[in-house]
Every structure is written in structure tokens, then in C-alpha cells.
């Protein structure tokens, strides 16, 4: 394992109630990277994040986070990590400023007043600092949660589906902030269900039912899937989709607005299987570049469920 990597772990496992929710997980994340976690609900993303930041002890495996051993030095890791949970976890009956003051006290932040003022300005919260957290919209709560994460100057941010339920404008502004932080050398590990967000990560890891299936850039993940995709438009796409799903060479049929994306892993077999459908009057077929969403759905369909009997 490399001392230079911010996160470098091998073989992490964790079980609850006799079910292994994280199974032989290994990952390496470099300084300043934005590393995206993709995977369905229940895939082990949150459990993995909690093991990395010292909130959960792995049943097996080894590794380091920020140069500290994840098994023996979890307390040291917690001091240098900012962890943003799925749900807003600050006090709704306190103001923005009061929440930040409280978090700064918890972390014993030096020059607390200056740190709070800096966080308010950095996240555009200064003009709202007296507003109760419970009165904020989802986007503003998100800003407050990120400001709280940054108060103690962490070297690593662990963000667990931070933009769930947030409107597109607020999500874009949030990701602009994340890229600014990465440019300053802060490493970010973020789980997300949004494919447009996944495309903004430097590298990705796809996890399904506790197992790591693939890591790489968005381009590498798409190429690894070996998907060939066609887009089709025309009348009665619902009926056409039902017919296409019965064709063995077709692995996936997904509606995309007014078109269908039809994919397979064998280009020649797919081309031959689609020939009679392409001859139908009124339909238009064009080659399409498979995207992360296509790959996401395909991997989810193929992954074995660790809760199957």
C-alpha cells in the first residue's frame, strides 16, 4: 500500500446479522481527487464510507486513511475528515451561525470566531447567518452542512449522497464548490445516484451488493462495459420495447424521453437481431454512445444480490 495515497485499503469486509454488506473491498484515492461511489441502495456505499472515516470497524481487511491505520488509529482519522451524511444532521432550532459555532466548539477549532466567519463567507451564508436552520430550503441546508464539514480544515471530505432532494441549480453550485476544494488539494469521496454528477468525478467506483465491480474514469467504465447502443424513435415505443426485451442478443432496453436505448454486448449479434426491427416503417434507428446510466443499469442487472437465499 502506498503512503502517498489519501485512501489506500485492501480486502475490507463488514457483516450485519450474518449478511456480508461489504465484501473484499479495495480502493486507492489520490490527493486532490474527486472519487465517485456509484451503486444501488443497499450496495454498501454508506457502510464503506463509515469504515473509512473511523465510525465503523471492519471485520476484515487493512489499510490507511490520511496515513493513519484504519484499524488502530480511527480517532486520528476523525480529526482530519469532514463527513456529510445523507440526512441533514444539524440543529434545526439553531441559526446558521449558532450551528457553526457549536460545531467549531466540538472540534476545538482555534480562533473559532474567524473560522465561523470564513465558513459563512465561503459558502455564501453570511447574509442568512441569523436564519434558523429549520427554515432553510434543501439547497441552503446543503450549504450549511458543507460549511460545517469545512470548519476544522479537513484534508478529506466524505460526502454520502449529499445532493439528494436538492434542485438542479443548487446541485450545480454545490459541485462547483467541490471542484474548488479539490483544486486546493482537498480529497473528496462522494456517493451519488445522479449520472451527471458521476461524470464530474475524476474517477469512479461501482459497488453492487457489497462488491466492488469496477473503478476508473467515466470513459474507462463505459468502455469496460462493452455495450453497443442504438437509439430508436417512432410510434408505439412501449409495444416495441416489449418485443425487443424478448430478443436474446438484446441485453437492455431503456426509455430515454421520446426514444429507446437498445443495447447489447455483442455488436454483430445485436446488429443481426435488430435487422427486422429496423426494416419497420416509421422507425428511425441511429447509433448512440452508451452513457454512465446505461452502464449503471446494466451492472445492476448483472450483479448477484447478496440477500438472495
Please give the residue range of the domain that contains residue 23. Answer: 7-221
143 in any annotated domain: yes
Label residue 116 exposed, middle or buried (CB < 10 Å: 0-12, 13-18, 19+). buried
Say if residue 164 is in the same domain as residue 249.
no
For residue 303, name the pLDDT band (cuts at 50, 70, 90): low
Number of domains in the chain: 2
Pairing status of strand 7-16 against strand 187-191: unpaired
Average pLDDT, the chain: 90
Residues 6+ apart with CB under 8 A from 104: 112, 115, 116, 151, 152
CATH code at 279? 3.30.70
**pLDDT-based confidence at residue 234 (cuts at 50, 70, 90):** very high
Please report, for the domain that includes residue 163, its CATH number.
Answer: 3.40.50.300
Asked if residue 180 and residue 125 are part of one domain, the reply reads: yes
Q: Say yes or no: 149 and 208 in one domain.
A: yes
Per-residue pLDDT reduced to its tens digit, 135-187: 998 889 989 999 999 999 999 999 988 887 788 888 888 899 999 999 999 99
DSSP character string of 259-305: EEEEEES-HHHHHHHHHHHHTSTT-EEEEE---HHHHHHHHHHHSPP
Q: pTM for the full model?
A: 0.86
Amino acid at each position: 500500500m502506498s503512503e502517498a495515497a489519501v485512501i489506500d485499503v485492501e480486502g475490507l469486509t463488514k457483516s450485519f446479522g450474518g449478511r456480508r454488506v461489504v465484501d473484499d473491498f479495495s480502493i486507492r484515492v489520490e490527493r486532490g481527487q474527486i472519487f465517485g461511489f456509484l451503486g444501488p441502495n443497499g450496495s454498501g456505499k454508506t457502510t464503506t464510507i463509515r469504515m473509512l472515516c473511523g465510525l465503523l470497524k471492519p471485520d476484515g481487511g487493512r489499510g490507511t486513511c490520511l496515513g493513519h491505520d484504519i484499524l488502530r488509529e480511527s480517532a486520528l482519522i476523525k480529526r482530519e475528515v469532514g463527513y456529510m451524511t445523507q440526512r441533514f444532521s444539524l440543529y434545526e432550532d439553531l441559526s446558521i451561525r449558532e450551528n457553526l459555532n457549536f460545531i467549531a466548539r466540538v472540534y476545538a477549532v482555534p480562533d473559532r470566531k474567524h473560522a465561523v466567519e470564513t465558513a459563512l463567507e465561503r459558502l455564501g451564508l453570511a447574509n442568512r447567518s441569523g436564519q434558523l436552520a429549520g427554515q432553510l430550503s434543501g439547497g441552503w441546508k446543503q450549504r450549511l452542512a458543507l460549511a460545517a464539514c469545512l470548519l476544522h480544515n479537513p484534508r478529506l471530505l466524505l460526502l454520502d449522497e449529499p445532493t439528494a432532494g436538492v434542485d438542479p441549480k443548487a446541485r450545480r453550485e454545490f459541485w462547483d464548490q467541490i471542484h474548488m476544494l479539490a483544486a486546493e488539494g482537498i480529497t473528496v469521496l462522494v456517493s451519488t445516484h445522479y449520472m451527471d454528477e458521476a461524470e464530474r468525478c475524476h474517477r469512479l467506483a461501482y459497488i453492487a451488493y457489497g462488491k466492488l465491480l469496477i473503478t476508473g474514469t467515466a470513459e474507462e467504465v463505459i468502455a469496460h462495459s462493452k455495450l453497443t447502443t442504438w437509439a430508436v424513435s417512432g410510434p408505439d415505443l412501449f409495444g416495441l420495447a416489449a418485443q425487443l426485451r424478448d430478443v436474446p442478443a438484446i441485453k437492455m432496453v431503456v426509455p430515454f424521453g421520446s426514444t429507446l436505448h437498445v443495447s447489447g454486448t455483442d455488436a454483430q449479434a445485436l446488429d443481426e437481431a435488430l435487422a427486422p426491427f429496423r426494416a419497420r416503417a416509421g422507425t428511425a434507428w441511429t447509433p448512440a454512445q452508451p452513457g454512465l446510466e446505461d452502464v449503471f443499469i446494466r451492472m445492476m442487472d448483472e450483479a448477484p444480490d447478496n440477500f438472495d437465499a
